[in-house]
Amino acid sequence: MGIEIAKYHHERYDGSGYNEGLKGDEIPLSARIMAIVDVYDALRSVRPYKRAFSHDETVYIITKESEGHFDPRILNLFSQIHMNFELIYDSSKNKK
């Protein structure tokens, strides 16, 4: 599973991602899930080229501005449980 996640989490559901241009259910489920987790963490984190986005901004970007990027079924589930992401992110940030 770790290999699947590492290798395929940058694939996009519409086939426009990389490494292999997989699309839809060709992408392993573990990687489709990690794609949202990875983007959430990247948006919430400070980078040399950008500020950290708030939870609400991040949820908006993931749900409204990422057409084709994510599996719609997983995106729907994320929309229902996104507050858990905020709780986990904030609790892990406080432990650093």
* pLDDT of the residue at 96: 54
| Residue ranges of domains in the chain | 2-94
Q: Is the dihedral of CA 54, 60, 65, 70 positive or negative?
A: positive
Q: Considering the entire predicted model, what is its pTM?
A: 0.91
Lowest mean pLDDT among 24-33, 53-62, 64-73: 64-73
- The DSSP H or E segment spanning 11 is none
The predicted-structure confidence for 78-88, as pLDDT tens digits, reads as follows 999 999 999 99
Architecture of domain 2-94: Orthogonal Bundle (1.10)
What the block records as the tokens of 50 is: 């950008």
